[in-house]
Every structure is written in structure tokens, then in C-alpha cells.
Structure 1
Amino acid sequence: MGSGVQEQRASLTQGEVLPRASSTPSDGLKHTRSVLNSLFSGALAGAVAKTAVAPLDRTKIIFQAPVFLPVFSPLIYPEHLFNGFFSLWRGNSATMVRVIPYAAIQFCAHEQYKTLLGGYYGFQGKALPPFPRLLAGSMAGTTAAMLTYPLDMVRARMAVTPKEMYSNILHVFVRISREEGLKTLYRGFTPTILGVVPYAGLSFFTYETLKKLHAEQSGRPQPYSYERLAFGACAGLIGQSASYPLDVVRRRMQTAGVTGHTYGTILGTMREIVSEEGFVRGLYKGLSMNWVKGPIAVGISFTTFDLTQILLRKLHQMGYTAR
């Protein structure tokens, strides 16, 4: 009898909880909105950052790839002088095709991994501890690189070849597939993944850590825009310096079909670069250019993402207020 009453009370208690469960669709809507906001903010962040540094990015790729061009062609001014101002953005359309989905996936994945790891480690809604913070960035970068790699290959080819060789992005895909095989579209994939783990991990880790320290020291939950740019610049400097040799190896493997070299493995490529050009001058070729380009690009990217997220949240709140 007593147990029957207890069971009845339990069922009533469960019945009281059921109306709360009806809020699940609302939670699902919030999650979907959050994902879409992250995708849009990430796409915009990547597009703005890469367009801003496109001339420096093109110059860096030319430095990394042993392309036989006029002696002054790696420099920005002669490139402008010989081929016109907009030649500095050659390959930028391919960059946009790659970077928009890459940045969207990376930033969105980072937000999702932060939520998952926060729940797993018991830090839901709070700043993650150092290791999960590093892990979230590495996993986000790996996810984005795996899904968009062929577009990176196309971008590299367009950046180091004459305009007459490839007319557009589709032409690059068709010609590489026909002349070199579909596997070529994934040449350099392994060093890319090995490089993106420290790059993305350290970049996100540094940026999130600096924001956390800033909030603790200043008492302001949100840094100013110029502070975000500075934090992003530090993140880019650290992340790209740590992964730069693998970035050089990746570019050499991607552009092997048009430079007359044959690179098979990561270690083999590294050995050939070091034997022909030396350790520092080979594996770190163009690093000084990256120290200019990288911090600017990452700073703009992180700042644009954060500010777009804040703007979208405010617009959403205003929409609810208007109702």
C-alpha cells in the first residue's frame, strides 16, 4: 500500500517534470541558431581576413615554392609593376572558395567542441582549463582542414602558375585530375593535418587564454576591438611560427606538379629541402613574411568573428524586444 502511494507520488513528480521537457524544442532552436551564427560569423571572418592579406599571402606562397620566375617577382612592388595592381589578388577567388567554408567550419566546430569538452570536464558555460582549450582548437582546425583540403590545393596551384595555365577554379580541378590523377588533389594532406594541429590549437588556445587573463585583470568581460586585434596577432604569431616548416613542406608537395620537383613523403621532402637550401633558409623560407601576414590575418579573423557574434546576439535580442 505504502509502496503504491510512493509509486503514485513518483509518477506525479515525473508528471510535473514533463512540462519542463516541452522546452526542448526551444533549446534545439537556440542550438541551431547558435550553429548558424557561428557558421556565418566564421565565414565572414575568414573572407575579411584573407582578402586583407591576399597580396602578402600570394608573395609567401611564391617564396615557399621554387618557381622559376623573374628574380624580383616575389616582391610586391614589381608584381604590381609588371602585371597590374589586381595581380596581387590572383588566386584570391580560389582562396575565397576555400577559406569561407574552412573558416565557417573551423569557428563553428570550435564553439561546438568547447561546449562538448566543457560538459565533459564540468566547465559548462565557463572558460575551459588549458588542455581542453588547446584540444578544442586542434580538433576544430583538423575538422576544417579535412573537409576543405582540395580547395587549398587548387588555391596553391593558382597562386604559383601563370594566368594562361589555369583559367578558373574548375579548370584547375579538371586539369589536375586528368593529367596528374585525383590523388594529386590530396597531395600534401598529411603535413597539412600535422601542421594544423599545433597551428589551430595554439592559435585558439592563445587567443582564449589572453581574453581570459584580460577579463580577470581588467574586470571587463569583453575586451575592446583593438585589444582583440592584439590578442589575435599574438595567437597568429605563436601558432604559425610553431607549424611553419610543415607549411613549407605542404606547399612544396602541392606545387610539385608545376615546379619540376617530385616530392613523395614528408621526411623525404624535408631532407631534399634541407640538402638543397639549408635548414633555416629552406624550412623557414618566407617566415619573416609570415610574421607580417600571419598576425594581421589571425587578428582580423578572431576580431571579426567575435564582433559579428556579438552583433548577431544583439540583433536577436532586439528582435525579441520588438515583439
Structure 2
Amino acid sequence: MGRTPGDMSAPTGVADKLWFKYMLSCGAATCAELVTYPLDLTKTRLQIQGEAAEKKPAPSGRPPLYRGFLRTAGGVVREEGVLRLWQGVTPAIYRHLIYSGVRMNGYEWLRDRVSRPGQPLPVWQAALAGLAAGGLGQLLASPADLVKVQMQTEGRRRLLGLQPRVKNAAHAFRQIVRRGGVRALWKGCVPNVQRSALVNLGDLTTYDSVKARLVRGTALGDGPVTHFLASVASGLVSATLGTPADVVKTRVMNQPTDSRGRGTLYRNSVDCFVRLVREEGLLAMYKGFVPCWMRMAPWSLTFWFTYENLRRVCGTGTF
């Protein structure tokens, strides 16, 4: 077992340097993203069903094709090909090179300076640290997330008979800047940051708190079973807290823009939330919850298992 959180007197080497742990967190996040990305794409396709842009009849005369998680995923494979389940994975990985590195190391840095040596961080302090680290990480990584969402919806647009907007990640970045300037890269930033803050409130706080109490209160120790239980709990709490904000974020980021880079469907995240509830019902806030949870659970499991073992192999103290 590595250093106890909050033990600032333990000797440190390269393996305990911030930049090294940053690299480990990015590597673990990339692994988790590649494994679970098809679930993220399916979730996004579910969330955009019902928005104004899709209520117009397609030129082919066909109604919207997907309803439900399995039918949506199956439809993507059947109509677009298996590889389309990973459409947009490149900017998703770019995002994690910033987002996961900042959120993980920001949280750990805050925790180690606030917690008492040998004692778990109080839940309310862990929650604040998770909110702050997750919000900052997403603020910095928001442009990559915007490109990812737009690329995820391209196959759906083609099936509806709409003109494709982007060809690849680089083209998407250029198109966004050309139409609305650099500032447009942060379209949907507010709901994005809100969503990530809530997700990290659930993920980091739950994992850290559950793990600490299992290590200290049971005979499981700091091993795979503890990591598994803590990651499953964190995935469920993250999905419950983050899905409503995730739906709003997806709608705002996916909407078309005018010549000045302003959204044509929603004025802001509040307007999107109000219209979504009024036009589609309160349960619309949990569209894509099942794939969201089904993704967050294996994502958390893959990430935490990979991250903890990378730290162990490299001689870094456990999280």
C-alpha cells in the first residue's frame, strides 16, 4: 500500500511527481475511453432524439430511426457500420489529456493539503474538492468535448438526409472557429462545466470515500475487490447526478448556429432546460440514463483499476 493521503512527510521521487501522476491518469483515462466509447456514442444519439431539428421530416420520408438503448446501438451498427461506434473517439481522447489529468491531480492535490494524516477526507470537503477539480478540468477541455459531440451526431444527420457538418476532428475545430471565432469553442461551456462538476462530485467523492472506509473498516484492504466496489458505487452516483446536465449539455452543443455563432434552438442552458421539460416532459432529463450509467460503471471500473495498478507498478502511492 502506498502513502496515506495527507502524509506530506513521506519521501518522494519521480513516481510521486505531479507531472508523472498526470501522465498516469491520462493513460488510464484513454484506456477506459476506448473500452466504453460505444456506450457514450449511443447515449448521445439517444439524448438528441426529440429535439426540434429532428422533428422535421427527413427528405427520405423516414421517421427517426432509434428508440431505446439496444435499438439505437444496433441501428448504428446496421446502418453505419461497427466502426461508427467509435466516431469522435479522437477528440474524446484529446479531452481526457486535459480533463482527466486536471481533475485527478487537482483533487489529489487539494485532498493532500486539507486532510489529516492517516484520516479520510470528510465527505463535504471531498465533495467541494471534486466539484472544483471537475469544473476546472472541464472548463479547460470544453473545446474538445464540443468537437466530440458534433462528430458523434454526424452519422445520425446523414441518415436524416442532412448535410454533414464536419469530416474529422481537425476540420471540426476549424469550422467552429471560422463560424464563431475562438470563443465559439466554448459553446455549451456552462452546462458542460455544471455536468462535470456534478459527475466528479459523484465519481471522485464516492470512490475516495467508499475506498477509504472499506480499507479502514473491513478486512478487504487496498486491493482489487475494494477498487471494484468503490468504482461501481462511483459510477452509479455519477450517472444519477450528471445525466440531467449531460442532456442539456448535449442539446446546447449539438444545436446549429447562425452566422454569428449563436445557437438557433436554445438561448442558453436554462432556456434548453425549460423547453426540454415543457415540450418533452421531466423524464426527458434522464434520456440516455441507462447507457450513461452502463458506461460510467465500466468506465469507472476500467479507469480506477488501470490507474491504481499503474500507480502500483510505477511505485507511486495509491490514490
Same fold (TM over 0.5): yes
CA contact (8 A) 2:215 2:222 kept: yes
Distance 2:101 2:305 in 1: 14
CA contact (8 A) 1:53 1:293 kept: yes
SS of 1:257's partner is coil
TM-score by length of 2: 0.81
Could you tell me which amino acid in structure 2 is paired with residue 285 of structure 1? Answer: K
Q: Is 1:76 aligned to residue 73 of structure 2? A: yes
Q: For residues 139-178 of structure 1, what are the structure 2 equivalents within 5 Å?
A: 139-162=132-155, 164-178=164-178
Q: In structure 2, what is the equivalent of residue 111 of structure 1?
A: 108
Q: Is 1:264 aligned to residue 267 of structure 2? A: yes
Deviations 1:214-267 (CA, angstroms, capped at 9, x unpaired): 1123245412x2441231121111122112211111111100117995211222
Q: In structure 2, what is the equivalent of residue 190 of structure 1?
A: 190
Listed as ranges, the gaps of 5+ residues in structure 2 are 1-9, 59-63, 159-163
* Correspondence for 1:47 among 15, 20, 30: 30
CA contact (8 A) 1:42 1:105 kept: no
Q: In structure 2, what is the equivalent of residue 311 of structure 1?
A: 313
Q: In structure 1, what is the equivalent of residue 282 of structure 2?
A: 279
Q: For residues 50-65 of structure 1, what are the structure 2 equivalents within 5 Å?
A: 50-65=33-48
Q: Is 1:137 aligned to residue 130 of structure 2? A: yes
Could you tell me which amino acid in structure 1 is paired with residue 109 of structure 2? Answer: Q
Distance 1:113 1:221 in 2: 24
CA contact (8 A) 1:192 1:247 kept: yes
CA apart distance, 1:168: 1.7
Deviations 1:174-198 (CA, angstroms, capped at 9, x unpaired): 1112224433221211122222222
Between Structure 1 and Structure 2, how many residues are aligned? 283
Distance 1:32 1:105 in 2: 17
Larger deviation: 256-265 or 153-162? 256-265
Bigger radius of gyration: 1
Alignment identity in percent? 21
TM-score by length of 1: 0.80
CA 1:50/1:289 → structure 2, altered by over 3 Å: closer, same or farther?
same
Deviations 1:82-130 (CA, angstroms, capped at 9, x unpaired): 2221111011111111123211221111211111222xxxx03542122
Distance 1:183 1:101 in 2: 18
Q: Is 1:88 aligned to residue 88 of structure 2? A: no
Could you tell me which amino acid in structure 2 is paired with residue 148 of structure 1? Answer: A
Could you tell me which amino acid in structure 2 is paired with residue 253 of structure 1? Answer: V
CA apart distance, 1:72: 3.3
CA apart distance, 1:314: 7.0
SS of 1:198's partner is helix
Q: In structure 1, what is the equivalent of residue 245 of structure 2?
A: 246
Distance 2:148 2:279 in 1: 26
CA contact (8 A) 2:45 2:72 kept: no
Q: Is 1:294 aligned to residue 296 of structure 2? A: yes
CA 1:125/1:140 → structure 2, altered by over 3 Å: closer, same or farther?
farther
Could you tell me which amino acid in structure 2 is paired with residue 41 of structure 1? Answer: L
Q: In structure 2, what is the equivalent of residue 321 of structure 1?
A: none
